[in-house]
Amino acid sequence: MSTRLDWISRPAGPLRGELRVPGDKSISHRALMLASLAEGRSCIEGFLEGEDTRATAAVLQQLGVCITAPTGGVRVVDGVGLHGLRASEQPLDCGNAGTGMRLLAGLLAGQGFDSTLVGDASLSRRPMRRVIDPLTAMGAHIDSRDGLPPLHIRGGSGLHGVKADTPVASAQVKSAILLAGLYAEGTTEVHEPQPTRDYTERMLAAFGWPITFGPGWARLDGGHRLQAVDVRIPGDFSSAAFFIVAACVTPGSRLVLREVGLNPRRTGLLDVLRAMGADITIEHLGEQGGEPVGDLRVGHASLRGIEVPVALVADMIDECPALFVAAACAQGRTVLRGAAELRVKESDRIAVMAAGMRRLGVAVTERPDGAVIEGGALRGGEADSCGDHRCAMSFALAGLVAAAPVRIRDCANVATSFPGFLDAARAAGMVVGTVPAADEALE
């Protein structure tokens, strides 16, 4: 019998109350890696208990780092120093974590031993040439199968600093280069075509590494040390995004999301939704671990279609699937451009979201780098997430406002980023649950 997991999402009443979303996945990955390379013991609070981040923790443990979990959401890391990692006789399994694999490639490129990074079937289809090429320019030796995993990284290469102009706007690519730069002789400098998230830069500074950076660029020198610090990870904005959109599109909703990370390189969706007419306010703005944090108060509003500013797309790339649902509920046409990066995520998210929304009665026209979405009524039916966690959660939002229940196929991978999504959704008032994949069609 199939082990695939399906969901059913049904029309619901207003979403009300307060929620705390899990810790930021991107920051959780980076905190583990830098704490492992630091000197001393670091305590990471708010750690995301997802399959992706646990895979990264397991890889670092395989490399000789002591990482314990005294309670849920907490990791204690005894750092081994910049040159204290040990070779593993077995391949390093990143699971489904593209962030983990790309960042670890940069970190391992500077080691004195060989490593092999592997992943699951989905990750093994995702492009790694974008990190292989700049790391090779720094002196790394990385073998792959036409730029796809597994990645065989030969140690002992003397890395040198470079001035890298990345062809794509990707925080993962930038971070891989900067992590390799810790081991490189001289200066490593990265320039991006558009500014991306600066999590790695902020966290390197928090762990004591001299680094200068601004929107779209970062620069550091090799030869320094990382010092252990305690880190409190804010709530993941990408996880919050599903509830932000849900409250925006469900009549009568008033929802508060507590202590959400509001890094300006992450929150492009807020600007887009506000331009569409959303009712979103930020309260109690503060800081955790060098990251801006605040509470988000979201209410239902009548949205209107817009042309999404291309300059905001890099700051909302993971939230684009949820935007498809907001656009479907808006009056008029929404045009998304400059989002070709969506084609090489866990799935081709443009194709998956376009196909699913069309099956729910929404007119969507695909473009190579985006889509045109016509607002209108959603009917019930089925949508296939193709195993993509963000698409699955986005289709669950569609069920809130559809005329009939929506069945979402292949949702098991939601555990990679938001294992408690169903519980959080029900707590907010959504009517969503699991159904065996072999079950009968919806009533």
Q: Is 260 a residue whose pLDDT tops 70?
A: yes
What confidence tens digit (pLDDT) does each residue in 333-371 have?
999 999 999 998 889 999 999 999 999 999 999 999 999
Q: Where does a domain end: 187, 212, 232? A: 232
Catalytic residue, from 120, 221, 295, 318: name it. 318
The domain total for the chain is 2
Q: Is residue 289 part of a domain?
A: yes
Helices marked H in 297-348 — which ranges?
310-313, 320-328
The amino acid present at 73, given as its one-letter code, is G
Same domain, residue pair 206 and 253:
no
Same domain, residue pair 303 and 194:
no
Are the beta carbons of 93 and 57 closer than 8 angstroms?
no
Q: Is 404 a residue whose pLDDT tops 80?
A: yes
β-strands 254-261, 16-19: how paired?
A: parallel
Same domain, residue pair 97 and 48:
yes
Q: Is 3 a residue whose pLDDT tops 90?
A: no
Q: Is residue 370 part of a domain?
A: yes
The CATH code of the domain that includes 151 is: 3.65.10.10
d(Cα 21, Cα 376) in Å, to the nearest integer? 30
The pLDDT score that the predictor gives to residue 157 is 77
Same domain, residue pair 39 and 138:
yes
Same domain, residue pair 293 and 157:
no
Query: Quick one: tokens of 45?
Result: 């609070």
Sheet holding 370-374, edge to edge: 333-336, 370-374, 364-367
Q: Is residue 174 part of a domain?
A: yes
Same domain, residue pair 243 and 381:
yes
Query: Quick one: tokens of 156?
Result: 């002992």
Within 10 A of 335 (CB to CB), how many other CB atoms are there?
15
Are the beta carbons of 356 and 383 closer than 8 angstroms?
yes
Same domain, residue pair 260 and 146:
no
Query: Quick one: tokens of 272?
Result: 């887009």
The amino acid present at 251, given as its one-letter code, is P
The pLDDT score that the predictor gives to residue 416 is 86
Q: Is residue 441 part of a domain?
A: no
Are the beta carbons of 28 and 233 closer than 8 angstroms?
yes
Q: Where does a domain end: 212, 232, 252? A: 232
Measuring CA to CA, which residue among 157, 221, 166 is closest to residue 190? 166
Mean pLDDT of the chain: 94
Q: Is residue 442 part of a domain?
A: no
The pLDDT score that the predictor gives to residue 156 is 82
Same domain, residue pair 14 and 38:
no
Q: Is 412 a residue whose pLDDT tops 80?
A: yes
d(Cα 218, Cα 196) in Å, to the nearest integer? 11
Same domain, residue pair 19 and 41:
no
Enclosing domain of residue 347: 5-23+235-436
The pLDDT score that the predictor gives to residue 438 is 52
The pLDDT score that the predictor gives to residue 440 is 47
Query: Quick one: tokens of 24?
Result: 């930021």
Q: Is residue 75 part of a domain?
A: yes
Quick one: pLDDT band at residue 1, thresholds 50, 70, 90?
Answer: very low
Q: Is residue 443 part of a domain?
A: no
Same domain, residue pair 159 and 296:
no
Same domain, residue pair 248 and 120:
no
Please give the distance of CA 392 from its chain centroid, rounded to a whole number: 14
Are the beta carbons of 250 and 15 closer than 8 angstroms?
yes
Same domain, residue pair 225 and 281:
no
pTM: 0.86
Task: Identify each DSSP E strand in 235-384 by its residue range.
Answer: 254-261, 279-288, 291-299, 333-336, 364-367, 370-374, 381-384
Query: Quick one: tokens of 210?
Result: 């001299």
Share of the chain above pLDDT 90, in %: 90
CA distances from 146 to 64, 164, 173, 288 (A): 30, 22, 18, 41
Please give the distance of CA 13 from its chain centroid, rounded to a whole number: 29
Read off the DSSP letter of residue 23.
Answer: B
Q: Is residue 130 part of a domain?
A: yes
Query: Quick one: tokens of 431?
Result: 């009517």
In the residue annotation, 120 being an active-site residue is answered as no
Q: Where does a domain end: 203, 232, 261? A: 232
Within 10 A of 120 (CB to CB), how many other CB atoms are there?
18
Radius of gyration of the chain (CA): 21
Query: Quick one: tokens of 98?
Result: 């593209």
d(Cα 42, Cα 60) in Å, to the nearest integer? 14
SS (H, E, C) 44-83: EECCCCCHHHHHHHHHHHHCCCEEECCCCCEEEEEEECCC
The amino acid present at 266, given as its one-letter code, is R
d(Cα 396, Cα 150) in Å, to the nearest integer? 33
What confidence tens digit (pLDDT) does each residue in 234-246 have?
999 999 999 999 9
Q: What is the mean pLDDT of residues 181-208?
A: 95
Residue 90 is inside which H or E element, if any? none
